[in-house]
Amino acid sequence: MGDNTFVAGQGPWLERLGNLRNVVRQEMVTRQLATHLPSGRLRVLDVGAGQGTQALRLARLGHSITAVEPDERMRAAFAEAATGLTPAEARRVNLVATDLDGLAGVAGPTAYDVVMCHGVLMYLPDSRSAVDALARHAAPAGIVSIVARNGDAMAWRPARRHAWAAALAMLDEVQLAGEEGRDPRYHNEIGVDARADTLASLTRDCEAAGLEIFAWYGIRVASDDVPVDEPAPERAELDVLLEVEQRLGMTDPYRALGTLLHVIARRTP
């Protein structure tokens, strides 16, 4: 992960954690994943844990977390957020300074009931090797949760904003990427170059790694056209918005328009 492009955009990312789009993103990941978590106390590996939103939520539910995060500034944000844990919850969290390449040294032979990798693949050169690394640390019948940029819906945000030239540019890029046999690329709103996956490409990657996708969702289907600094609305309105997003994200044809793609796979025997 030495060529992870996220590093240059970490400042804007951290500044916008409380905005509408990030609140929707994090809440949808939590709700969508919760539907498929195995019962009991779980061993969870969170790769590219960032500021720790999902890892810390699971720690509060009683699960044991190994959080892997290569960036010092993101680990500091994680540690600050973790100060809100009780002592018992904090003892269940192990924050490790490494990346995908260093997973073997962190996890060793340990197999995890849940392996998460949310918002990481778009900053890597390709997804195949990353998915393979994640799969190696999932227990038999364990689940792997991946959130990636949805390459099938890249033109939807600018089109909803009536940014017609930008929408055409995205459509052209997706078409060209298909012709050239590569993943579509884009310049994102934290100011860095990134890459998109599709449901079809992630399905191929998962199958090659011994994983079977059994559920998938769209994230930010209806609320992605707002400015990046748009604040979250008051609680009553936010609750309705989140309910709409949850239902759109699990329903055809709407879920295919999510800016982010959330796939949940199971390690095959």
pLDDT per residue as tens digits for the range 15-41 = 888 899 999 999 999 999 999 999 999
| pTM (whole model) above 0.85 | yes
Pairing of strands 43-47, 112-118: parallel
Cβ neighbour number for residue 187 with a 10 Å cutoff: 9
Q: CB-side exposure of 210: number of CA atoms within 13 Å?
A: 14
Least reliable range by pLDDT among 14-23, 131-140, 171-180, 210-219: 14-23
pLDDT per residue as tens digits for the range 213-244 = 999 999 999 999 999 899 999 999 999 999 99
How many angstroms separate the CA atoms of 239 and 182, rounded? 39
Domains of the chain: 5-149+186-267 (3.40.50.150)
Q: What is the mean pLDDT of the chain?
A: 94
What per-residue confidence (pLDDT) applies to 23?
A: 96
Question: What six digits make up the tokens of 267?
Answer: 């390690």
Q: CB-side exposure of 128: number of CA atoms within 13 Å?
A: 5
Asked if pLDDT for residue 254 goes beyond 70, the answer is yes
What per-residue confidence (pLDDT) applies to 154?
A: 96
Give the pLDDT mean for 100-105: 83
Question: What six digits make up the tokens of 206?
Answer: 């998962």
- DSSP assignment, residue 197? B
